[in-house]
Structure 1
């Protein structure tokens, strides 16, 4: 197995890799590397789509290296993990291999221009895999891809190496990028009401981002200094969740909801907005957590108070969360991918026929319109 890194920033990877996995960086950005003085590094990318959010991080050198690597790739299955990389895969990936695009964002998170680019390139792939059934349905409805299998496979959330929460703490935790879309301001306001009735409870917010100073000021304005704390980024986050009694999310949108699954893996019930698209597929309301409408501060207060005030319910939901989170174990999800690979091999000729038929229908329709 090989993991290809588009850009290399450091001497050692941030995460430890199994020795059986080969790590291959394509462009080395370290100051002492030969790539750092390659003039193509300062030329804008031509293949990587300009509408992709990370376009400025890529270059003509990235285009060239991606093409060279993919054209020489001998793998049976190649999986891209973000839209621009999926375009590389569609353009340069060997046709004999299964070429699969993973979507870790969502269809509606992409601009109209990027969606048009992706529709053109995704049409030549074998499959598009989203993290939620809801997003897969959006792709099927708004980006028809004849001959391309569109399905959902959730992220793997492995068993953490820390004991689960015992449920008796007086801590509400939240984690994620400190950005406006996470609506941590709404959570802080909701916690203010919780803290007014239960002064022994605290709020811990984990993460880093551009909203840190604004959130720090808001905590002071709400009189929550020492009660609500910005803890910074932590990894693994499950270690912190295991010290909490509740994990909360007030996000406006999520492509999956990784922190919710990570909290449930440690037996912590979750309170989340029912935002598109992930939480409703992770949480079973009243069983392992609670869902509230997006942007509804009072509903968030009520849900938090329901669990803060009832330790028995917290423990019951926490135990249910431990059980339900097992569906994110590596084993079942790896099996789903193995089944997908087999299905794609068996259906290759049928899917190719559908692709060509759709192409000829479009051409005929264009001719008739003219």
Structure 2
């Protein structure tokens, strides 16, 4: 790998310096969680750093492995020097305007990202959202392996943003999606000659708590309270469960703009006290382990972290078969059930199937524990290490080929 260093005595293998670029490591979200998980897994063998474009609080909400350095670039906290910098209020130029987070970026963010990347000495740099990946393509050192992770699906980006990404991603070494289905879409719709497009699932560590025994009369769900998660559909489906099994409750974990509307819906359906909005929780596994079923009614998922986290807790999952993640996580009838998107009757039927059959729930929960091992940190970190090695070898091959072509041209000129 580029600039690889031998590990110290007893370390074994080769150590590289790996830098992750993230939007805001101090918040709550699936990308933050999985980046911290992967960074910790790679820190077993490598020198790992996470660079947060923004910082809005003193400490991260999620625990950061002590072996992983966290470097914020722009401090948004009241009273910080950056908060008084006039460039913070100037629009970003390098960050793509079509990116959903564009208004959170500024000329100051542009300049800090460029300054950091120009002097970065990492062997591998991994961006974790589209606009940050553009920073990496524009300013990242050519000597490093530069990799764009995509935690959103190709089709979740606007046409305008996809056009911008195609231009910049062509300068990177690889694009990594979280599902094989999304990788196939990128290969078909965003041709990137010479750029590897591969799928590597998210790291989902084994939680340090006992798994669910399947006996609790609780259905759980988690995620941002936004329309795309279709918690309204889930509440309506749960209403059919509650009518037949009044002892069963629904707990929805998360925060977001739909909270008021969902609260009203719960009241309208006469489900007060049985369907409850619990607010955000971290770690969510503690809550999932107290449930017998975890449900998702989303219209789209780039991966489906909550599904994998639930399975890690020995809980079977009922999910819509939405693009693109659930079908690669759940084996229907084995560790969970899949239902069509936007089909409230099918969702209610799947929930009733598991609610009414404790034996099936327990068997699926045990199967979920086994199948979720594929998200162990070690194997996922190993897939990234192999990718780094393959990209480095590809570079050497291209470099030798370039040298040979130059020599041939010199010979032909004589």
TM class, shorter-length: over 0.9
RMSD over aligned Cα atoms:
1.4
Equivalent residue runs for 1:263-278 within 5 Å: 263-278=310-325
Give the match's secondary structure for 2:197.
Answer: strand
1:78 and 2:125 matched:
yes
2: CA distance, partners of 1:155 / 1:353:
34
- Residues 178, 210 of structure 1: 8 Å contact kept: yes
User: CA offsets, 1:231-277, max 9 Å, x none?
Assistant: 11111111111111000011100111000000000000000000000
Give the match's secondary structure for 2:260.
Answer: helix
Structure 2 unmatched ranges of 5 or more: 1-47, 403-414
1:15 and 2:62 matched:
yes
Per the alignment, residue 363 of structure 1 pairs with none
Give the match's secondary structure for 1:26.
Answer: strand
User: CA offsets, 1:312-352, max 9 Å, x none?
Assistant: 00000000000000111100000000000000001115568
For normalisation by structure 1, the TM-score amounts to 0.94
1:189 and 2:273 matched:
no
2:225 to 151, 155, 178: 178
2:137 to 90, 95, 103: 90
Per the alignment, residue 283 of structure 2 pairs with 236
1: CA distance, partners of 2:191 / 2:135:
20
1:126 and 2:196 matched:
no
1: CA distance, partners of 2:206 / 2:289:
13
User: CA offsets, 1:36-92, max 9 Å, x none?
Assistant: 111111100000000000000000011111111001001100000100000000001
2: CA distance, partners of 1:99 / 1:326:
28
1: CA distance, partners of 2:259 / 2:212:
27
Per the alignment, residue 68 of structure 1 pairs with 115
2: CA distance, partners of 1:178 / 1:15:
20
1: CA distance, partners of 2:332 / 2:202:
21
Give the match's secondary structure for 1:301.
Answer: helix
1: CA distance, partners of 2:107 / 2:69:
25
Offset of residue 32 of structure 1: 2.1
Per the alignment, residue 367 of structure 1 pairs with none
Per the alignment, residue 326 of structure 1 pairs with 373
Give the match's secondary structure for 1:291.
Answer: strand
Give the match's secondary structure for 2:146.
Answer: strand
Per the alignment, residue 409 of structure 2 pairs with none
User: CA offsets, 1:285-304, max 9 Å, x none?
Assistant: 00000000001111111111
2: CA distance, partners of 1:354 / 1:80:
28
Offset of residue 18 of structure 1: 2.4
Equivalent residue runs for 1:193-212 within 5 Å: 193-212=240-259
User: CA offsets, 1:20-42, max 9 Å, x none?
Assistant: 22211111112222111111111
Give the match's secondary structure for 2:61.
Answer: coil
Give the match's secondary structure for 2:246.
Answer: coil
Give the match's secondary structure for 2:161.
Answer: helix
- Residues 264, 270 of structure 1: 8 Å contact kept: yes
Per the alignment, residue 307 of structure 1 pairs with 354
- Residues 187, 249 of structure 1: 8 Å contact kept: yes
User: CA offsets, 1:147-186, max 9 Å, x none?
Assistant: 0000111111111121100111111111111111111111
2: CA distance, partners of 1:353 / 1:126:
17
Give the match's secondary structure for 1:195.
Answer: helix
- Residues 285, 313 of structure 2: 8 Å contact kept: yes
Per the alignment, residue 38 of structure 1 pairs with 85
Give the match's secondary structure for 1:226.
Answer: coil
